Amino acid sequence: MQQMLEEVEERFAELDLMLGDPEIIRDQKRLRKIAKEHADLGKIVDRYRKLKRLKAEIEENRNLLSEKDDEIKKLAKQEITYLTQEMERIERELKNSLAPKNPNDERNVFLEIRGGTGGDEAGLFAADMFRMYGKFAEMNGWKVDILSRNFTGVGGFKEIIALIEGDKVYSKLKFESGVHRVQRIPETESQGRIHTSTVTVAVLPEADEIELAIDPDDLRIDVFRSSGPGGQSVNTTDSAVRITHIPTGLVVTCQDEKSQHKNKAKAMKVLRAKLLDKLEMEQQREISQKRRSLVGSGDRSERIRTYNFPQGRVTDHRIGLTLYKLDEILEGHIKELIDSLNSYYQAEALRGQKPER
């Protein structure tokens, strides 16, 4: 790690000089790229320099331990304890900073939530999950734009797809993909029996048009009238759009806008993200058939988390974390889960088991 930090500090110094270069200043695109790298590395360099100061202070206090004055030695020991704890904290932060980054971390995401096993109860929990992520997005200052939703007859969702835009959205939500299980007593259950239902969550990074060209001849586009809860028509014109990517069989539907043109544009965004996701998953399978974790393989068939209402607990099975804060979590307070997952997989990455998703 020491060598990596020295290299980062050298690169930071180079970027410092480049930012003052008149030729680079005239090239706004290059300037923005250099300025961003400079800002990102600056955070690491600041921590590294603080770490070096802490080590120097610890050494100074160790020299005081040879003093004859007992009071001075006592104060030196206390200072060493405090400085060592602070040094260890900075070292942990630096390890996380140096962990391999997912190239999609800066991107917006498409959030897809589908009711799985459990019938109406699964659809109701899908609605609860969407509300939870919506609250979390609000706390982070992100924008949520619903692209498509398919209602159940009791107020839940068979499926809902939304675009979430903001600062580093994918970096926060990338570990949410998978099967989420709920254990609770449905309102319609007269005998008080606990039912188990599942919801599938998929988090797809938004793809740029320039990085994924789609041949128009590979698309079949159908239009139809939008429908609301219960399937009733909510529009008198054929504004809803269904796009089928013929080579892969991927199908995307969007009907939330009144304009056919807007629905088509949104559906193309979702399709582009799904195709990018499919390509990345195929590449990962080629790299390693042995990875079985959700994060490493992109396998969304695994149960990743359980929400148990009778016990008021949430358990993430990948890292063995259980929190007795179910009500808070459903109100969008999932930061502790998000941070714990990020810390775990950053540690895995530093050990050479780099998670791709």
pLDDT digits (tens, 9 = 90+) for 137-157: 999 999 999 988 888 878 899
Lowest mean pLDDT across 89-93, 175-179, 195-199: 89-93
Provide the edge-to-edge strand list for the sheet that holds 195-205. Answer: 143-151, 157-165, 109-115, 195-205, 178-184, 303-308, 313-316, 321-323
Taking CA 331 as the corner, what is the angle to CA 328 and CA 334, rounded to the nearest 5 degrees? 70
Secondary-structure class of domain 2-98 per CATH: mainly alpha
With cut-offs at 50, 70 and 90, classify the pLDDT of residue 76. very high
CA separation for the pair 306, 129 (Å, rounded): 12
Taking CA 40 as the corner, what is the angle to CA 35 and CA 42, rounded to the nearest 5 degrees? 90
Query: What's the average model confidence in pLDDT over 21-25?
Result: 90
More confident residue, 337 or 3: 337
Most confident of 29-38, 132-141, 243-252: 132-141
CA separation for the pair 312, 306 (Å, rounded): 11
CA separation for the pair 283, 75 (Å, rounded): 57
Query: What's the average model confidence in pLDDT over 318-336?
Result: 96
Q: Would you state the pLDDT for residue 118?
A: 87
pLDDT digits (tens, 9 = 90+) for 268-281: 888 888 888 887 77
Q: Would you state the pLDDT for residue 357?
A: 46
Judge contact between 186 and 353, C-beta under 8 A. no
Strand 178-184 to 303-308 pairing: parallel
Produce one character per residue of 50-79: b if its CB has 16 or more CB atoms within 10 Å, e if not: ebeebeebbeebeeeeeeeeeeeeeebeeb
pTM of the model: 0.63
Where exactly does CATH 1.20.58 map onto the chain?
Answer: 2-98
CA separation for the pair 18, 10 (Å, rounded): 13
Query: What's the average model confidence in pLDDT over 196-200?
Result: 93
Judge contact between 318 and 347, C-beta under 8 A. no
CA-nearest of 252, 272, 300, 286 to 116 is 300
The mean of the pLDDT values for the chain is 84
Most confident of 122-131, 226-235, 267-276, 298-307: 122-131
Query: What's the average model confidence in pLDDT over 23-38?
Result: 89
Could you tell me which CATH number the domain at 109-332 has? 3.30.70.1660
CA separation for the pair 126, 213 (Å, rounded): 32
Where exactly does CATH 3.30.70.1660 map onto the chain?
Answer: 109-332
